[in-house]
Homo-oligomer: A and B are copies of this chain.
Amino acid sequence: MSTPIVKPASITGFPEYLPEERLLEQKILDTIRSVFESHGFCSIETPVVEKLDVLLSKSADTNKEMYVLGRLQAEEKEEAKMGLRYDLTVPFARYVAQHENDLVFPFKRYQIQPCWRGERPKLGRYRQFTQCDIDIIAREKLALEYDALVPAIVCEAWQKIGLNNIVLQISNRKILVGFVEGLGIKKVGETLRILDKLHKIGPDAVAEMLQELGLSDKQIKSCLSMVTINTSDLSFADKVRALGIKNETLELGLNELAECVKLYASFCSVPYRVDMSLVRGFDYYTGTIYEIQLLDTEFHESIGGGGRYDNLASTMTKTRLPGVGMSMGISRTLGVALKLGLLKTGAKSPADVLVVNVDAADKTKMLDVAAKLRERGIKTEVYLEGGKLAKQLKYANDKGISYVWFDIDSTVKNMQSGEQQVADVNTWLPEQK
């Protein structure tokens, strides 16, 4: 026997699941897919790599964390211009711009794929992480109704996954932008970026940073009053207006948000909070913005977010493509939910039944029994090679297979209760898990 020379290790920050964890992940992904398809969203996937000019067309924030491709033995130069996607939005924008003439608008798609960022890993943050994005894209104009529909569908998915204790945080980018403009502040983007840090660094540090930016005490006080407005009903508009700032963009945002929130509440039972501190990092959002948070846990980052944008792919096509979309952080949420015990793993095998081999049974007959069970949708494994029964039962136990079928006398044993019964292969059903 040769001596092992390579240490078998996966790479830090690149999560890998054991079979029982993967079964849970599959259940989550199946649920998401089934919800989105039930609403008529189609699946798309894009290659893991994009040309660098495409990746760099959107945001410079992620450049530092971007992975690029090379060749172990470089012969071609082309690969130096490819990078791994860092989100699903940029490849999606490229996809829509490229295939515009083959798509039917409004185009509704979901996309469940990994992305890569060379970040420092921690709970809920990985270098390879699976995202699920849904977006509705129109040509020229997309009705505001979709701003309410998208979070309703996403919340339905989170609920069906079993994460019921969640809240939709919602705002409209126009409100804060209009408010800041209405205050006479010139550095709008910088001000928003500082306000976005409220929950991380607290109001005092925010005030200090705003002061450094050159805002007056009155402006700072107004901003801080604004971002602490947080309501679970439509009273947010009055509270914002009570701050006395007049601005067209602000007014437009308040009306859009009121309309959107009203519709959302009629579409979906997941509670919402209108939160004026919500900013969302990405510059391309132009209207409604959202985040979804777990309630009553020690994990305070969002498990997803999104918003409305005026133009998906302005760098890649002349067609104006307004849309609204949301992301679900699958790897993040699975990591957190397992850590906090919100979701639990079960068996190590998808099988319901193990057909065991007693007294060197006829293998064709064993496979016949298994095939009959499978025809009725019962997942059935066969312990083909036989051997000691105790070993075969241990195998079923270790894998978490609920039933063992003795093919000789058509007896089925419930591995949990220990109960045995004579069963007909054409009618027997496992109990619901």
A67 adjacent to chain B (CB < 8 Å): yes
Interface hits, A334-384 → B, CB 8 Å: 348-351, 354, 363-364, 367, 370, 374, 379-382, 384
Contact residues in B for A45 (Cβ distance below 8 Å): 16-17, 22
Which stretch from A75-83, A164-172, A281-289 is at the chain B interface? A75-83
A236 adjacent to chain B (CB < 8 Å): no
CA distance A91 to B229 in the complex (A): 51
A5 adjacent to chain B (CB < 8 Å): yes
A233 adjacent to chain B (CB < 8 Å): no
B11 A51 Cβ-Cβ under 8 A: yes
User: Given A14-B47, A44-B22, are A315 and B5 neighbors across the interface (CB < 8 Å)?
Assistant: yes
- Residue interface mask A66-86, B partner, CB < 8 A = 1: 111111110110010011100
A70 B72 Cβ-Cβ under 8 A: no
User: Given A4-B314, A64-B72, A102-B18, are A11 and B47 neighbors across the interface (CB < 8 Å)?
Assistant: yes
Count of A residues near B, CB < 8 Å?
Answer: 105
22 A–B contacts, CB within 8 A, in A order: A4-B315, A4-B318, A5-B315, A6-B57, A7-B53, A9-B54, A10-B98, A14-B49, A16-B45, A17-B45, A22-B44, A22-B45, A40-B349, A40-B350, A40-B351, A41-B350, A42-B349, A67-B71, A71-B118, A143-B385, A145-B384, A146-B384
Contact residues in B for A363 (Cβ distance below 8 Å): 145, 263, 266
Interface hits, A198-232 → B, CB 8 Å: none
CA distance A49 to B99 in the complex (A): 29
B67 A68 Cβ-Cβ under 8 A: no
Return A186 CB to nearest CB of chain B, in Å.
23
B8 A97 Cβ-Cβ under 8 A: yes
A433 adjacent to chain B (CB < 8 Å): no
Closest to A398 in B: B104
**Of A40, A267, A354, most B-chain CB atoms within 10 Å:** A40
List the 3 closest A-B pairs by CB distance, nearest first.
A40-B381, A143-B385, A40-B351
User: Given A4-B317, A8-B313, A146-B384, are A19 and B72 neighbors across the interface (CB < 8 Å)?
Assistant: no
A255 adjacent to chain B (CB < 8 Å): no
A315 B6 Cβ-Cβ under 8 A: yes
A108 adjacent to chain B (CB < 8 Å): yes
Checking B75, B114, B118 against A64 with a beta-carbon cut-off of 8 angstroms, the contacting residue is B75
Question: How many copies of the shown chain assemble into the complex?
Answer: 2
B11 A82 Cβ-Cβ under 8 A: yes
Task: With A4-B318, A79-B118 given, name 13 new contacts (CB 8 A).
Answer: A4-B317, A6-B57, A8-B97, A9-B54, A38-B374, A40-B379, A42-B348, A47-B128, A66-B72, A68-B69, A103-B348, A104-B398, A146-B385
A63 adjacent to chain B (CB < 8 Å): yes
Closest to A33 in B: B26
A67 B72 Cβ-Cβ under 8 A: yes
Contact residues in B for A382 (Cβ distance below 8 Å): 39-40, 149
A416 adjacent to chain B (CB < 8 Å): no
A19 B381 Cβ-Cβ under 8 A: no
Checking B5, B51, B73, B94 against A63 with a beta-carbon cut-off of 8 angstroms, the contacting residue is B73
A381 B75 Cβ-Cβ under 8 A: no
User: Given A19-B42, A46-B16, A318-B3, are A67 and B69 neighbors across the interface (CB < 8 Å)?
Assistant: yes
B145 A47 Cβ-Cβ under 8 A: no
Return A156 CB to nearest CB of chain B, in Å.
9
A37 B67 Cβ-Cβ under 8 A: no
Contact residues in B for A379 (Cβ distance below 8 Å): 37-40
Contact residues in B for A423 (Cβ distance below 8 Å): none
Return A46 CB to nearest CB of chain B, in Å.
6
- Residue interface mask A394-416, B partner, CB < 8 A = 1: 01001101000000000000000
Checking B8, B39, B374 against A317 with a beta-carbon cut-off of 8 angstroms, the contacting residue is B8
Interface hits, A139-160 → B, CB 8 Å: 143, 145-146, 149
CA distance A388 to B17 in the complex (A): 50
CA distance A379 to B35 in the complex (A): 9
A308 adjacent to chain B (CB < 8 Å): no
